[in-house]
Amino acid sequence: MELQAVHQNPSEKTENPYLPHMARIVRIHRMVPDNYLFQLRFVDDNVLQNWEHRPGQFVELSVIGTGEAPISISSAPTRKGILELCIRRAGRVTSALYKLPTNAMVGIRGPYGNGFPVEEMEGNDLLIIAGGLGMAPLRSLLWYALDNREKFGTVTLMYGARNPADMLFREELLSLADVEDFNCLLTVDRDPTGTWKQHVGLLPTLFKKATFDPSRTYAAVVGPPIVYKFVLAELLKLNFRKDRILMSLERRMKCGVGKCGHCSVGYKYTCIHGPVFTYWDAINLPEIV
Amino acid sequence: MKILKMPKQNLDLFVSVLPAFGEVYAPVKRGKGFAFDKPSLWSDVQMKYTRTILPPKKLMLPPRETTIAFDPVEGFQDQLAMASKPMVLFGVHPYDIYGLNILDRVFAQSKYPDPYYIARRKNTAIIGMDFEPDDKHFAGSMNSDFVDSGFDLFLSDIGDDYLVLVGTSRGDDIVVMSGCLMQTPGEADFAAYKRRSKDRRASYKTKLEMEDLPEIMEMEYHSKAWEDIGNRCLSCGSCSMACPTCYCFDINDEVELGSRKGQRIRSWDSCLFKTHALVAGGENFREERSSRIKFRYYHKQRGFVAEYGRPSCIGCGRCVEVCPAEINIISVIETIRGERDGIASSAPKSV
Give the nearest chain A residue to B87 (CA atoms): A4
Instruction: Select from B244, B243, B241, B261 the least CA-distant residue to B253.
Output: B261
Res. A14 pLDDT band, cuts 50 70 90: low
Residues of A in contact with B261 (CB under 8 A): 65
Strand order in A105-112's β-sheet? A67-72, A58-63, A105-112, A21-32, A35-42, A83-88
Question: Could you tell me the end-to-end alpha-carbon distance of chain A, in angstroms, rounded to an integer?
Answer: 56
C-alpha to C-alpha distance for A192 and A206, rounded to whole angstroms:
20
Q: What is the pLDDT of residues B128-157, one digit of tens each?
A: 999 999 999 999 999 999 999 999 999 999
Give the nearest chain A residue to B274 (CA atoms): A262
Q: What is the pLDDT of residues A96-153, one digit of tens each?
A: 999 999 999 999 999 999 999 999 999 999 999 999 999 999 999 999 999 999 999 9
Mean pLDDT of chain A: 91
C-alpha to C-alpha distance for A113 and B39, rounded to whole angstroms:
45
Phi and psi at residue B205, to the nearest 5°: -90, -20
Instruction: Select from B188, B229, B260, B196 the least CA-distant residue to B340.
Output: B229
Cis-peptide into B94, omega within 30 deg: no
Q: What is the pLDDT of residues A177-209, one digit of tens each?
A: 889 899 999 999 999 988 999 999 999 999 999
- Neighbour-count burial of A208, counting CB atoms closer than 10 A to its CB (0-12 exposed, 13-18 middle, 19+ buried): exposed
- Cα-based distances in Å from A133 to A32, A222, B29, B41: 11, 8, 56, 63
Cis-peptide into B19, omega within 30 deg: no
Res. B82 pLDDT band, cuts 50 70 90: confident
Q: Greatest CA span in chain B, whole angstroms?
A: 70
Instruction: Select from A180, A182, A184 the least CA-distant residue to A169.
Output: A184
- Give Cα A220 distance to the centre of its chain: 11
A–B CB contacts, 8 A cutoff, strictly below: 140
Mean pLDDT score, B222-235? 92
Residue A225 amino acid letter: P
Is there a contact between A6 and B72 if contact means CB atoms under 8 Å apart? Answer: no
Is there a contact between A22 and B75 if contact means CB atoms under 8 Å apart? Answer: yes
ipTM: 0.89
Residues of B in contact with A65 (CB under 8 A): 70, 72, 253, 255, 260-262
Mean pLDDT score, B249-266? 92
Give the nearest chain B residue to A91 (CA atoms): B280
The pLDDT, as a whole number, for residue B269 is: 95
Strand order in B161-166's β-sheet? B2-7, B161-166, B153-157, B124-129, B87-92, B23-30, B33-37
Domains of chain A and CATH, by start: 21-112 (2.40.30.10), 118-248 (3.40.50.80)
Q: What is the pLDDT of residues B169-220, one digit of tens each?
A: 999 999 999 988 999 999 999 999 999 999 999 999 998 888 889 899 989 9
